[in-house]
Structure 1
Amino acid sequence: MTKFIIYILLLVSVCSLEAVSASTVKQGVVIEKVPGVLSPRERVEPINKILKYRLDHLLPKLMQESDLDMWLVINREYGEDALFYTLVPEPTFAARRTTLLVFVKEGDSVERFSVSRYPIKGFYETRWKGGTVEEQWGRLAEIIEDYDPEKIGINVSQEWAVADGLTQGLYKRLNRALPQKYQQRLVSAEDLVIRWFETRTKPELKVYPQIVKVARGVIAEAFSDQVITPGVTTDQDVSWYIRERFEELGLKPWFQPYVTVQRQGDDNRKDSPFFGKSDRTIQPGDIIHTDVGICYLKLCTDTQEMGYVARFGEYSVPQGLTKALAEGNQWQDILTGQFKLGRSGNEILKATQEESNQQGIFSSTYTHPLGFVGHAVGPTIGMWDNQGPTPIKGDWPLYKNTAYAIEGNVKVELPEWDNQLIQIMLEQSALYDGERVIYLGGRQTEWHFIR
């Protein structure tokens, strides 16, 4: 019963964190608690239900769109690619020798099975009775001849890593096993793989806000006087608090969290890509920033937020900082307002830059897709070291039900620091539903205030 209750709580809609963040800022203490996290055992059921929904409802549509008759996903133990783990249920730790997954388009549905020594029960029953490796590949060839597909998708790609998982050795082995006419029918499954990675389904959207809220909740803990003692705590202390807090929750970050410190007197130049330094002891009056990413229930987040450490006798955030964060939110609104179905990442970037310039905002945009991995596939909307256009990846069009890290920064003069330039770096996980961008778990609209 406890497991059922936790699962139901996980699936309910999540109220925005913005109101909680506001009360946290005003009182200077953490009110919001990090949401409960399922144990590894309890995660199996929701993960597998989501996977089954994706295979039954999403994959047939994507195979139709990509015009593939058959799709082969081939992996060897200890050489698995990221795609493999998005297609197999929990708990699956490896491909077990060589796992040959086969997907066949059958009208409006997709038939799926494996040609492997070990079946994956409930998802991929095997069509091979066992034997030598040569017999396994021979059986795959027989099945392909039986179905006689015109286009056989394999995972090879020049530009997209997640669509390039078929190794050179396995590619050669596949060709040796197939008659020449089927060798000539092998085509890249690139479009299918990208769409599989980037598309979010209804069951995923029920849990994604909660996942984001976990990440934001840990940041709220870290950017508080529960963790930071000015004059004592270093940025590294805060970084490791975030990392160890996630580990305590049974969640693995997909990169090491980091914290930077901006301080009055820093030589911040407008042409520098990033402000803030590491390896500092946090002092009163400092601006702090963190970048955090976790994956939970096979969905990843990417979050950057800002904090301010009060000086002695300071009971609110300086007005200049409030205006600076509002300008950062204004840039976010400009960016998300450019999301239009079918637009490329480069088109969205250009429109954002033009509108920001018209409004007098000095911004940099480097937004990327989110999903099964943190730096996911789909339309790249600028890069921190390439403000466009971005070839190939920036040309990918915008589809509905895709998730993004709304990431970038603005540079603003701070009156309280003698008009020294400061940088507001923001990143929040969001979904584009085909009409609007919705923040998954809210966004930062007020400062984390440490006093």
Structure 2
Amino acid sequence: MIATAEPGVPDPTRTVPLSLREQADVRDRWLTQRLLDVLPGLMDRAEIDLWVVIGREYNEDPVLPTLLPATWLSARRRTILLFHRSDDGVTAAAVSRYPVGQFLSSWDADEQPGLTAEESQWTAVRRFVDQAAPRTIGVDVSATFAHADGLAHTEHDLLVQALGPHAEELVSAEQLAVGWLETRLPEEIAALHALNRLAHEVIDEAFSPAVITVGETTALDVAWWIRQRFADLGVDAWFQPTVGLQRAGSPLADERGTVLPGVRYDAVIEPGDLVHCDVGLSSLGLMTDTQRNAYVLRPGEGAAPAGLVAALGVGNRMQDLTTAALQPGRTGDEVLAAARAAAAAAGIDGDVYSHPVGVHGHGAGPAIGMWDQQDGVPGAGSAPVHPDTVYALELCVRVPVAEWGGQLVRMALEQGIALTAAGVEYLDQRQTELILIPSA
């Protein structure tokens, strides 16, 4: 069941996007809940007593925006956030020139007139660390995940200098940062149901006569329409939407899905085309990532060719095999290997390249293949799968279509899913039928 907001509280589960002010209320409420309910367990799992997140204006750590109040669109001057794990929970403190929402203020820049503002700020950090006496101090440095590698070189040097002997306690906070970014509250998952539903509704509208005039409209026209529609609805596209075509007798991609030289994505949409889109929107600090397929009916046709319908069914079967392999405790590479082995046993020719999605479109967490790395992904593929996470279930299958003279069709699908203790659930609904676009 999808949770709904209390009366009088902005409801992030409705399809109509919230106003910016309502979004801020929701995001701040989520932040409070995440600091109370999510962060303590993540710090325990990573064995980190003190987490230090630092960012300067225009050079923010990727984690920093997820910790700031919704009205803070960036760091201000140098913003330092400290999270101390104790028996009482997590103390969240800010060493910043300006108050940072609900964070405990741990610095008065005017209390030490003999020091510069920078010296005073780092002195306040040292004082907090002395009082906390942590065994481990986590900082965002990582060779694997860019999301967890946000501590700038200058800030690292200044932090080490300020910590003095405490610098020996510095450790990578990679596991903690990834966990913070990938873990979703039930309320966030409920909101992602609505955001994915909105993406699906926009795609349905894009793949209709309201947007497409067969024989005139190009694939590029549709891609730009989708982006403009997102903007008109008050949500952002986190990447440029793409729309591509496959056509009997003149495929726009080879059997591996590689775009051929000279192929244009602004080709005119014609009867008999298989139309594919890849779109992602952003709202409430969360992302979606979706791919769907449509068929342009030829004059007199009332349904898509059976071979294309069957190809979509094979894609759905590949989704089933992948979600069955997506089990907490496995690594991304282990999920990939299990899904591909099951596909091979079922006689399916396909690739899996799924990834976490949430705070970032290509999110922190285990990579489950990449389109060009089907034997495992060094580094990110070894990350473990955890519950309460969201993925873009992204994959493709290659199926010969009899009605197209045995030509291979690449059926690519991408669908948001949530992995919880109850198993895998689709965010809104996955595509099980081709969208039909009439020619007239």
Question: Common fold, TM-score beyond 0.5?
Answer: yes
Displacement of 1:4 in angstroms is 7.9
Aligned length: 425
Offset at 1:5?
Answer: 6.7
Aligned-residue identity in percent: 40
Selected match of 2:179 from 190, 195, 209: 195
2:107 paired residue number: 128
Aligned twin of 2:53? 73
What residue identity is the alignment partner of 1:83? V
| Cα distance in 2 between the residues matched to 1:108 and 1:279 | 59
Distance in 2 (alpha carbons) for counterparts of 1:215 and 1:176? 48
Q: 2:332 aligns with which of 338, 341, 345?
A: 345
Residue type at the aligned position of 2:125: L
8 Å CA contact retained: 1:156, 1:189:
yes
Partner of 1:159: 144
2:300 equivalent to 1:313: yes
Q: Distance in 2 between matches of 1:358 and 1:327?
A: 13
Mapping for residues 231-246 of structure 1, pairs under 5 Å:
231-246=215-230
Contact 1:284 1:309 in 2 (8 A): yes
Q: TM-score, normalised by structure 1?
A: 0.91
Structure 1 residue runs without a partner (length 5+): 13-34
1:385-423, CA deviations, whole angstroms, 9 ceiling, x for partnerless residues?
A: 110221121111111111111101011111111111111
Structure 1, residues 194-215: CA drift from partner, whole Å, max 9, x if none? 1111111122122110011111
How do 1:256-275 and structure 2 match up within 5 A? Answer: 256-267=240-251, 269-273=254-258
CA–CA separation in structure 1 for the residues paired with 2:88 and 2:108: 29
Q: Could you tell me how far 1:317 is from its partner in structure 2?
A: 1.7
Matched-pair contact (CA < 8 Å) for 2:13–2:193: no
In terms of mean alpha carbon deviation, does 333-342 or 226-235 score higher? 333-342
- Deviation, 1:272, is 4.5
1:450 aligns with 2:437: yes
Q: Distance in 2 between matches of 1:216 and 1:6?
A: 28
Q: CA deviation at 1:347?
A: 1.0
Contact 2:271 2:296 in 1 (8 A): yes
Structure 1 runs of 4+ with >6 Å offset:
3-6
- Cα offset, 1:108, TM superposition: 4.7
Q: Alignment partner of 1:11: what SS?
A: coil
Secondary structure of the equivalent of 1:409? strand
Task: Quote the Cα distance in structure 1 between the aligned partners of 2:423 and 2:233.
Answer: 32
CA contact (8 A) 1:340 1:434 kept: no
Higher RCO by CA contacts (8 Å cutoff, separation 6 or greater): 1
- 1:91 corresponds to which of 71, 90, 94: 71
> TM-score if structure 2 supplies the norm length?
0.93
* Superposition pairs of residues 10-409 of structure 1, within 5 angstroms: 10-11=12-13, 35-121=15-101, 123-131=102-110, 132-179=117-164, 181-267=165-251, 269-273=254-258, 278-409=265-396
Shift of 1:48: 1.0
Instruction: After superposition, give the CA deviation of every residue in 1:283-337 in whole Å (9 maximum; x if it has no partner).
Output: 1111110000111111111000001111111122222211111111011111111
Q: Residues 221, 5 of structure 1: CA spacing in aligned structure 2 closer, same or farther, 3 A cutoff? A: farther
Measure the CA separation in 2 of the matches of 1:61 and 1:316.
52
What CA distance in whole angstroms lies between the structure 1 residues aligned with 2:240 and 2:8?
29
Residue of structure 1 equivalent to 2:114: none
- Give CA-to-partner distance per residue, 1:107-150, whole Å, 9 cap, x none: 150001111110113x2131111141111111111221122111
Who is 1:412 aligned against? 399
The RMSD of aligned alpha carbons is 1.7
